Amino acid sequence: DTEVTQTPKHLVMGMTNKKSLKCEQHMGHRAMYWYKQKAKKPPELMFVYSYEKLSINESVPSRFSPECPNSSLLNLHLHALQPEDSALYLCASSLQRDKPREQYFGPGTRLTVT
């Protein structure tokens, strides 16, 4: 089963709201990723978790806060976002960070900040 699930599919939030995105995989992968994707552009890496520890933060603003409660679950907590943060947020996983093979992507959460 090569499935990564993400909830919710769509999210509309105001600039003062706090919300969270959720990502889950049950493939035994030990590396998980958050990407941001604007329309007709490639995904931009935000965070990498390896064995539940944050290993890469691509200078992402602190209004985005990742969390990895266990090896199957990855959250992205959102607070005080700006309209320019509206995008498709993709989660991905791979077997291990330092033995890179393909990454498997979830369907994404389409976020609109009003």
When the beta carbons of 86 and 94 are compared against another protein, the nearer one is 94
SS3 26: coil
Binding test (CB under 8 A) with another protein, winner from 11, 97, 111, 113: 97
Residue 107: Cβ within 10 Å count: 14
- Token look-up 């958050």 returns 34
SS3 96: coil
Distance of closest approach, residue 89 Cβ to another protein, in angstroms: 12
Q: Which of residues 40-69 bind another protein (CB under 8 A)?
A: 40-43, 45, 48, 50, 55-56
> What's the token pair of residue 82?
């700006």
- Give me the residues that bind another protein (CB under 8 A), please: 31, 33, 40-43, 45, 48, 50, 55-56, 90, 94, 96-108
